[in-house]
Structure 1
Amino acid sequence: MAVTIWHNPRCSKSRETLRLLETRGIAPEVRDYQKAPPTMAELQDALMKLGQPAAAMIRWKDTDLTKDADENEILSALTANPKLIERPLVLTETAARIGRPPETVLEIL
């Protein structure tokens, strides 16, 4: 199974999630999403796999958007400023989970 983690090496939850995957024998593709930002299509795909509204993918404390922002506003903000993406995000071919807490990602493996 192919597994990808949208990773921020400076984030403790992201590091914990990566370590959790590795201790389970999973060698994910590690994507520093701030250096290699996802496209709008990749964000939409991740959102579909996550099965949640776009609001679940944004770090609200780091944005000027309000909680009533629509999906397109949020996705546009994430595309323009990838550091707003909630981290870490672990993706497989069919599902995605945000690693908060890190053990949440085990649901899709």
Structure 2
Amino acid sequence: MLQILHNPRCGKSRNCLAFLENNKATFEIRNYIQNPLSEEELKTVIQKLAIKPIALVRQKEAIWIDQFKDKTMSDNEVIRALTLHPILMERPIVIKDNKAIIGRDLEKLEKFL
């Protein structure tokens, strides 16, 4: 089954959710703002995305700019920042088995499915 890490306040995330619904996909929704990922869960997602943790950060968010922008951070420190401030995470993320994709581009999402 698919899982979508969803932020209902995000237009791209809502579009992804609508795309999945319109394609009759079976999926589970996790509002990661209300139900944040643990550090271990986030590490697993990053591994499935096959990216570095910094690539998952929305670097134009005010929290990032105010608290982290000019700091040199290890991967673990970036993951910790994402767990403390889930709004910093790129979205939506669609997870399928051992792979995941940031579902902003619906064409890429369609190929992923």
On whether the aligned pair clears a TM of 0.5, the verdict is: yes
> How many pairs were matched up?
108
TM-score by length of structure 1 reads 0.90
Aligned twin of 1:93: 97
CA RMSD of aligned residues (A): 1.5
Match of 1:59 in 2: 58
Q: Does 1:107 align with 2:106?
A: no
Residue 49 of structure 1 is matched in structure 2 by 48
In structure 1, the residue corresponding to 2:60 is in which secondary structure?
A: helix
> How far apart, in 2, do the equivalents of 1:10 and 1:31 lie?
13
Contiguous gaps of at least 5 residues in structure 2 = none
How many Å separate the matches in 2 of 1:24 and 1:13? 16
The residue matched to 1:97 in structure 2 has which SS?
strand
1:7–1:87 contact (8 Å) kept in structure 2 = yes
Runs of 4+ in 1 over 4 A off after TM superposition: none
The one-letter code of the counterpart of 1:60 is Q
Which residue identity is paired with 2:69?
Answer: T
| AA at the equivalent of 1:13 | K
Alignment of 1:10-29 (within 5 A): 10-29=9-28
Q: Distance in 2 between matches of 1:82 and 1:9?
A: 13
**C-alpha distance in 1 between matches for 2:40 and 2:3:** 16
In 2, distance between residues paired with 1:66 and 1:97?
25
Query: Kindly, what percent of the aligned residue pairs are identical?
Result: 37
List gaps (5 residues or longer) in structure 1.
Answer: none
Q: TM-score, normalized by length of structure 2?
A: 0.87
